[in-house]
Amino acid sequence: MRFIFAGFGGQGVMLMGQILAYAGMIEGKNVTWMPSYGPEMRGGTANCTVVVSDDQVASPVVDKAEVVVAMNIPSMLKFQDYITENGYFFLNKSVIDREPDRKDDVKIYKIQCNEIADELGNLKVANMVMLGAVIGATNIVSKESVFKALEKKLTGKKSELIEINKKAIEEGIRKAREQ
Amino acid sequence: MEKVMVKGTEAIGEAAIRAGCRHFFGYPITPQSELPEYMSKRLPEVGGVFLQTESEVATVNMLYGAACTGTRVMTSTSSPGFSLMMEGVSYMACAQLPAVFVNVVRGGPGLGDIQPAQGDYWQATKGGGHGDYKLIVLAPSTVQEAVDLTVLAFDLADKYRTPALILADGLLGQMMEPVEFPEFRDLETLPDHSSWALTGANGRKPHIVTSFDIDPYVLEKMNLELVEKYKEIEKNEVRWEEFKTEDAEIIITAFGTVGRIAKSVVEMARKDGLKIGLFRPITVWPFPYKPLEELAEKVEMFFDVEMNMGQMLEDVRLAVKDKKPIAFYSRMGGVVPTPNEIYEALKKEIGRRVK
């Protein structure tokens, strides 16, 4: 399964992809994570491509993706045509206040990532709310693997943040399964 | 050993340390600055030395100096930075010094851009610096292979007393994949360089490491010694990968990152019933001429794909000769071709020839 995560620099789209790839690896799958890189650290658009597969991953570069996650409007516009038929289109409803052009042949999930994160007490976990929604809808990896990936990734001082990130993931899963 | 997710650049750094590298000199340049950054943190932990130089010219000369002592040394850079090192690379090749260079290639020529490219193939394999010399050039296509080839680069550099180069690109440098690292090499077991290395001449005759002789007849002897060594490397160290070539009618040739993207093209084509295979040189010098020539006897056509204006294409032509037609597809400037795009170009090429 191919994923594109896209948003503003600073929205945590790179980490979303990394946690998913890490969780895939924990489950023994073949994974690649490929970032867009360049002068896009804050304010610009950033994206990463993740491939999770039972087979060896040949190309980390994709023309099409089964899943596109757009955290802002430019990303929605840029990547909507990448989605395969009957693929998944995740939109951060907190930021995206309009409809995508691509909607008839894809499964759309609109998630209020920012509000949910804010209620949990930290706006920064909006990305993990979205990641939760992605795994809740696609079941590509288990929640437990994502938790393990978080524990691997958030070490040292950042380990204080593991709990709230886990809550965000759980909330995201719940929201996706409600839709 | 447990698998870990790491970036290509960092994976190369860790592999170097495990291979016994304890000296790194470098100057930052995108898209490889994570490698010196990683080394700056890791090398002090293992009792090594990391030094950020004032320029690439300084880097290569520090590498030259450190390599003279027989220790395992490394630097990494990206295209314009490697151009700056060329003089020193030529000196080190002539002085027969083992060292490992990493070029995480970006778009060029000139300042170019910071996206993945393969435009430094000629520089890597045909010289780059002045004079008659060769580098052992290894072109990984996955992060795991980058790890394995980094270790191999140190071993080959030591075995043949010659600089080796990892020819990567921005994509391989920046992407993350699960890898398994080798065990740490016991430094005591590394090759013995005491017969030539500069380690202090107290109580013995001094060693001389040089790339110079004023007498042309002596210099020619040094040249001939290099020629013999390069022949030996060509005989022993050719490496390549073949993927679904057994029954293939068309062979895609590609190296590095494009080599793995082309694997997806092979899979797509096979689903459509087209008999396509892939030939991927792993050592781009020494280039696998012979196995490619043997394939030319069996297949209908070759399709070379690169992220440059057709550099490895010349080596493919040398191997295939006039035996079979060779088509070519490329993207440049930091644009990475997608599997679909390559496949469409391939189908167009097939259509053109069938007519």
Query: Average pLDDT, whole number, for chain B?
Result: 97
From B174's Cα to the closest Cα of chain A, the distance in A is 7
Query: Which of A22, A59, A79 should we substitute to test contact with B (largest number of B Cβ atoms within 10 Å)?
Result: A59
B267 — contact with chain A (CB < 8 Å)?
yes
Q: Which of B183, B216, B236 is the last residue of a domain?
A: B236
Give the model's confidence band at B152: pLDDT under 50 very low, under 70 low, under 90 confident, else very high. Answer: very high
Residue B195 sits in the same domain as residue B254: no
Size of interface A-B (CB pairs under 8 A): 64
Q: Which of A30, A58, A60 sits opposite B175 (nearest CB)?
A: A60
Alpha-carbon torsion, ordered B285, B13, B155, B241, to 10 deg: -40
Q: For residue A173, what is the domain's CATH number? A: 3.40.920.10
Question: Residue B115 and residue A63: Cβ atoms within 8 Å?
Answer: no
- The pLDDT tens digits for B286-337 are 999 999 999 999 999 999 999 999 999 999 999 999 999 999 999 999 999 9
- The pLDDT tens digits for B66-118 are 999 999 999 999 999 999 999 999 999 999 999 999 999 999 999 999 999 99
Share of chain B above pLDDT 90, in %: 98
Query: Maximum CA pair distance of chain A?
Result: 45
Q: No. of H helices and E strands in chain A? A: 6, 6
Torsion B231-B236-B237-B238 (CA) sign: positive
Range of the domain at B313: 241-354
Query: Which of A16, A19, A51, A61 should we substitute to test contact with B (largest number of B Cβ atoms within 10 Å)?
Result: A61
Q: Which residue of A has its CA nearest to B171?
A: A34
Question: Residue B176 and residue A63: Cβ atoms within 8 Å?
Answer: no
Structurally, chain B folds into a number of domains equal to 2
**And the tokens for B162?**
């010659």
Residues of B whose CB is below 8 A from A62: 338-339
**CA distances from residue A162 to A114, A131, A137, B3, B68 in whole angstroms, order as listed:** 18, 14, 22, 22, 49
Chain B segment 30-89 residues within 8 A of A by beta carbon are: 30-31
- pLDDT for the residue A36: 87
Residues of B whose CB is below 8 A from A30: 178
DSSP annotation of A156 reads G
Chain B segment 121-160 residues within 8 A of A by beta carbon are: none
Range of the domain at A46: 2-178
From A25's Cα to the closest Cα of chain B, the distance in A is 7
From B197's Cα to the closest Cα of chain A, the distance in A is 42
CA distance B350 to B355: 9
From A29's Cα to the closest Cα of chain B, the distance in A is 10
The answer to whether residues B52 and B26 touch, using CB atoms and an 8 Å cutoff, is: yes
Residue B197 sits in the same domain as residue B335: no
- pLDDT for the residue A43: 58
A61 — contact with chain B (CB < 8 Å)?
yes
- Encode chain B in three state secondary structure: CCCEEEEHHHHHHHHHHHCCCCEEEECCCCCCCHHHHHHHHHHHHCCCEEEECCCHHHHHHHHHHHHCCCCCEEEEECHHHHHHHHHHHHHHHHCCCCEEEEEEEECCCCCCCCCECCCCHHHHHCCCCCCCCCCEEECCCCHHHHHHHHHHHHHHHHHHCCEEEEEEEHHHHHCEEEECCCCCCCHHHCCCCCCCCCCCCCCCCCCCCCCCCCCHHHHHHHHHHHHHHHHHHHHHCCCEEEECCCCCCEEEECCHHHHHHHHHHHHHHHHCCCCEEEEEECEEECCCHHHHHHHHHHCCEEEEEECCCCCHHHHHHHHHCCCCCEEEEECCCCCCCCHHHHHHHHHHHHHHHHC
Give the model's confidence band at B355: pLDDT under 50 very low, under 70 low, under 90 confident, else very high. Answer: low
HSE-up of residue A28 (Cα within 13 Å, Cβ side): 0
Mean pLDDT for the stretch of residues B46-51? 98
Residues of B whose CB is below 8 A from A32: 175-177
B114 — contact with chain A (CB < 8 Å)?
yes
Q: For residue B333, what is the domain's CATH number? A: 3.40.50.920
Q: Which of A21, A37, A64 sits opposite B5 (nearest CB)?
A: A21
Q: Which of B189, B217, B236 is the last residue of a domain?
A: B236
- Encode A62-74 in three state secondary structure: CCCEEEEEECCHH
Residue B178 sits in the same domain as residue B62: yes
- The pLDDT tens digits for B213-223 are 999 999 999 99
From B106's Cα to the closest Cα of chain A, the distance in A is 12
Q: Give pLDDT tens digits along chain A (179 positions).
A: 999 999 998 899 999 999 999 999 999 999 999 998 766 555 568 999 999 999 888 899 899 999 999 999 999 999 999 999 999 999 999 999 999 999 999 999 999 999 999 999 999 999 999 999 999 999 999 999 999 999 999 999 999 999 999 999 999 999 999 98
CA distance A50 to A25: 12
Q: Which of B215, B236, B257 is the last residue of a domain?
A: B236
DSSP string of A109-150, one letter each residue: EEE-HHHHHHHHT-GGGHHHHHHHHHHHHH-SS-HHHHHHHH
Residues of A whose CB is below 8 A from B241: none
Q: Which of A30, A38, A59 sits opposite B263 (nearest CB)?
A: A59
- The pLDDT tens digits for B116-131 are 999 999 999 998 999 9
Chain A segment 19-48 residues within 8 A of B by beta carbon are: 21-22, 25, 30-35, 37-38
Residue B100 sits in the same domain as residue B137: yes
Structurally, chain A folds into a number of domains equal to 1
User: Burial of B209 by CB count in 10 Å (0-12 exposed, 13-18 middle, 19+ buried)?
Assistant: middle
- The pLDDT tens digits for B230-245 are 999 999 999 999 999 9
Give the model's confidence band at B283: pLDDT under 50 very low, under 70 low, under 90 confident, else very high. Answer: very high
Residues of A whose CB is below 8 A from B31: 37
Torsion B162-B168-B169-B175 (CA) sign: negative
Cis bond upstream, residue B286 (ω within 30): yes
CA distance A69 to A128: 12
Residue B75 sits at φ, ψ, to 5 deg, of -140, 160
Q: For residue B141, what is the domain's CATH number? A: 3.40.50.970
Q: Which of A34, A38, A59 sits opposite B264 (nearest CB)?
A: A59
